[in-house]
Amino acid sequence: MVTQRLETLLHTPVRRLAPLSGGCVGEVYQADLADGRQVVVKVDNSASPVLHKEAWMLDYLARHAPHLPVPQVLHHEPDLLIMSFLPGQSRLDAASEIHAADLLARLHAITAPAYGLETDTLIGGLHQPNPWTETWLDFFRDQRLRFMARVAYDAGRLPLDLLKRIDTLAARLDSWLDAPPRPALIHGDIWSGNVLAQKGRITGFLDPAIYYADPEMELAFITLFHTFGDPFFTRYAQQAGIRPGFWEIRRDLYNLYPLLVHVRLFGHSYVTSVQRILDRYL
C-alpha cells in the first residue's frame, strides 16, 4: 500500500522500502527510488493522523531559518509525509557540537512579537498549544506546565498529588523565573535521535516541536538527555550568551515540561524525575 502510494505520487518505481528507527508519530521508512533518489516516508495509521502538522513545522523552519538543515517536505497529507533524505548519523563529536551551537544560536536570534506561534504544533506526537501570549511566565505556566500536567494526569500517568504540586509551583514561577530578552524561535525537541551529523558538521535536525519561547527551554532540554556537552555550551555562550542563573535555578524548572511529556508518553519511570524537581523548589 505504501509503495503504491509513493510510486503514484513520485512518478517512479520504488526499488527498496526499509524501516527506520525514531519518530513518535507513525512508521518511518527509507525509500530508494528507481530514478536514484532517496526519500524518507512517514505513515500515520492512527484514527486522527497529524503528519500535516509536522510538515507545516518543517516548512516554517525552511522559510524562517533557511540556515538550519531540516528535511525538505516533498508531499504531505494527514497520514503521509514524504521528505528528502538527509545523510549522517546520530553520533556527535566536538566539531559537530560546535557547529550545532552556531546553528542554534542563529535560530534563537529569530524573534516574534509574543510567545507561542500562529498555530498549535506537536511534541512527541502530543498536542502542543501555542496561543500568542504577551508574557513568557504566563505562557510557560498555562500552556506548558499546567497543560501537560493535566494531559498526563488525565491519561492516568501522573498522580493527583503531583498534579496539585505542579499547580502550586506554577502559581509561584515569578519566584525563580524572569522575562527573557525576547521571544526566540526554538526547535523544541533536540535529543540525539533528532540530530544527524557527518564529518564534524550537523546535517539535519529532525522532528521539530517549534514555537517562540525563552531560548533556555532549548538549552535545558539539551542537558536533560545529554544531547550535547561542553563544546556546545562553550560555543553557544560565546555566540549568544547564557544568562546568569540558568544552570543553578532555571534549567530544572524548564525541564519539567519535557519530563511531563515523557510521563504522558512513557509512564511511571519519569514520575520520579518530576517529583525530584518539585522537591527542590517546594
pLDDT tens for each residue of the chain, 282 residues long: 889 999 999 999 999 999 987 656 678 999 999 999 999 999 998 899 999 999 999 999 999 999 999 999 999 999 999 999 999 999 999 999 999 999 999 999 999 999 999 999 999 999 999 999 999 999 999 999 999 999 999 999 999 999 999 999 999 999 999 999 999 999 999 999 999 999 999 999 999 999 999 999 999 999 999 999 999 999 999 999 999 999 999 999 999 999 999 999 998 889 999 999 999 999
Does the 2-84 domain belong in CATH 3.30.200.20? yes
Shortest CA distance to 69 belongs to which of 225, 224, 190, 250? 190
Residues of the chain with CATH 3.90.1200.10: 94-281
pTM (two decimals) = 0.96
Shortest CA distance to 241 belongs to which of 262, 267, 215? 215
CA distance 90 to 20: 13
Phi, psi at 33, each rounded to 5°: -100, 155
Q: What is the CATH number of domain 94-281?
A: 3.90.1200.10
79 is catalytic: no
Q: Which three cell numbers stand for residue 248?
A: 543553578
Ramachandran category for residue 177: left, alpha or beta (phi over 0 → left; psi -120 to 50 → alpha): beta
Residues 6+ apart with CB under 8 A from 276: none
The secondary structure element, H or E, covering residue 7 is helix 2-10
Q: Which three cell numbers stand for residue 63?
A: 522559510
Q: Which three cell numbers stand for residue 67?
A: 540556515
The number of residues making up the chain comes to: 282
Residues of the chain with CATH 3.30.200.20: 2-84
Helix (H, G, I), strand (E, B) or coil at 260: helix
Instruction: Indicate which residue of 189, 207, 214, 252 is catalytic.
Output: 189
